[in-house]
Amino acid sequence: MIARSRQVALALTVVLAAGAAWQDRHHRPPESGHPGAPVVRDRGFTLVASGDVLPHGSAIDRARFDAGGGGHDFGPMLSGVRSVVAGADLALCHMGTAYGAGGDSTDFESPPEIAQALAVTGYDGCSIASRRTPDGGTDGIRRTPDGGTDGIRRTLDALDRAGLRHAGAARSEHEARRATVLRAGRAEVAHLAYTYGAGVAPLPSGEPWAVGLVDETRILADARTARKAGADVVVVSLHWGTEWEEAPDKQQVALARSLTAARTGHRPDIDLILGTHSHVPQAYEKVNGTWVVYGTGDQIAGATTGHLGLPDPRGNQSTLGRFTFTPPGRPDGRWEVTKAEFVPQFYDVDAGRVIDLNRALAEGAEVRSVRDRIRTVVLSRGAAMDGLVMGE
C-alpha cells in the first residue's frame, strides 16, 4: 500500500467545544528531491471505502472454522475483495461493532482478530462511530455498571495492534481531541466519523466524548479545523439513515445538502461523505459538486432479517466505493474527484465469503440479477449523469 497514516493532536481552542482542533500543522514533503531538481507533479490518489463490518453469528462461526477451531480467521472471508482494497492508495472500512472481551462475540460484539484480517486485506483505517460503539459490557448487549468504555478500549487497542487508524471513538477525553490524518500519495487526508446516536447502550455518564455524534455544527467545525491545519482532502463517515430502506431518508438528504454546501474561500469544507448503517445498498449522488454515498450496505453480515422479522437477502449486498482524486491546478483549489466508481459485492452466507460480483460473473457464477439490482439502487438518484460508473 502506498498510503500511510498518522494522527495529529488537536489543540484546545474554541473548536474544542465542537470536538476537534489541531495542534500541529503538517510539514509537506518537498516537491523535488534536491535543489534544482525538476518539480514532479502529484499524480493524485485513489480512495476505496466499504460498508459495515457487522458479522453475525454464522459469520463468526465461519471465521472460527477457517482458523481451525482455535480463535478466528476472517482473512479468507475477505480475500475475494483484497485486490480492489489493496490496490487503492487509501482504503477505509467501517467497523460496526465493538470487540468482545477475551475473544467473546455476539451479534453486538465481534472477535478482535477481525482487525488483523482487515489490515491484511489492505485497509488503512476504519470509521468506528456507530450506534453499537458503546456496547461491550460483559453481556454483549448492554454495558454492565462498571463497563465504562471497555468495549471502545478493546476495539481501538486491537486496531492499533493491527496498524489500522480509526476515527469516531476515543478511549479518553485527551484522545477525543485528536483527529485521524492519513497519507495518500502526497495528499493529507483527514478522516472524521460520527453516528446518529448511541443505540443499545447509551454513552456512559461523564464520558460524552467517547463517540462522535452527528451534529452539523460540530462536523463543519471539525472539517474547517482540519482544512486550516493543512488537510488536502476531508472525508466524513456518517452512520445514519433508516435501516432496511434503500432510499435515503429526509434527514440524510437534508444533512448531505447542508454539509456539501458549506464552503470556506474557494473550497468546500468537505470533499467526500461515506454513509453506513442502512444494512442495504443506497444511492450514490453528487450533491453541490461533492460525492455522497448514502449507504454502502454491510460488507460482512450473515443470515439477516429485515425490519418485519422476515429473511432479507439484501442485508448481504453492498458496494465498495472507489474515488480517484486529482490535485488542484492552483494553490487554493480543491482536490477534484475525476473518476467515481462503485464495485458491487455480496456476502455469500453459505460459503462464508465476500464476493466481488463483477469478478464472479466473469467466472460464470449466476449473480447477474443481484449485481443488476445493486446497480439500479446505486444509480437511482441520477449518479450516472455525473459520471459514476461500475468498476471492476
Q: Which CATH number is 323's domain given?
A: 3.60.21.10
In sequence order, which ranges of the chain are alpha helices (DSSP H)? 57-66, 75-78, 82-86, 114-121, 150-162, 173-176, 216-228, 250-261, 357-362, 368-378
Task: Tell me phi and psi for residue 63, to 5 degrees.
Answer: -65, -35
DSSP string computed for 192-220: EEEES--TTSPPPTT-TTSBPBP-HHHHH
Q: Give the model's pLDDT for residue 392.
A: 86
Residue matched to cell numbers 466499504: 50
Query: What is the rounded distance in angstroms from the CA atom of residue 271 to the CA atom of residue 234?
Result: 5
* Whether pLDDT at 135 is above 70: no
Residue 32 located in a structural domain: no
The structural domain count of the chain equals 1
Tell me the residue range of the domain where 352 lies.
42-390
Say whether 250 sits in a helix, a strand or coil.
helix
Residue 339 located in a structural domain: yes
Residue 98 located in a structural domain: yes
Instruction: Count Cβ atoms below 10 Å from residue 94 Cβ, excluding itself.
Output: 26
Question: Among 34-43, 140-149, 248-257, which stretch is predicted with the lowest mean pLDDT?
Answer: 140-149
Segment 212-229 mean pLDDT: 94
* Whether pLDDT at 9 is above 60: no
DSSP element (H, E) containing 322: strand 317-326
Interaxial angle between packed helices 150-162 and 114-121, expressed in degrees from 0 to 180 and rounded to the nearest 10: 40
pTM: 0.87
Query: What is the rounded distance in angstroms from the CA atom of residue 60 to the CA atom of residue 352?
Result: 9
Closest by CA to 270, choosing from 229, 236, 230, 321, is 236
* Whether pLDDT at 31 is above 50: no
* Whether pLDDT at 106 is above 60: no
CB-side neighbour CA atoms (13 Å) of 44: 15
Q: Give the model's pLDDT for residue 338.
A: 97
Residue 276 located in a structural domain: yes
Residue 267 located in a structural domain: yes
Q: How confident is the model at residue 317 (pLDDT cuts 50, 70, 90)?
A: very high
Closest by CA to 239, choosing from 169, 139, 156, is 169
* Whether pLDDT at 18 is above 50: no
Burial of 261 (0-12, 13-18, 19+ CB in 10 A): middle
Q: How confident is the model at residue 199 (pLDDT cuts 50, 70, 90)?
A: low
Task: Tell me phi and psi for residue 137, to 5 degrees.
Answer: -75, 175
Q: How confident is the model at residue 131 (pLDDT cuts 50, 70, 90)?
A: confident
Residue 287 located in a structural domain: yes
Residue 7 located in a structural domain: no
Residue matched to cell numbers 528531491: 33
Residue 104 located in a structural domain: yes
* 317 close to 281: Cβ distance less than 8 angstroms: yes
* Whether pLDDT at 66 is above 90: yes
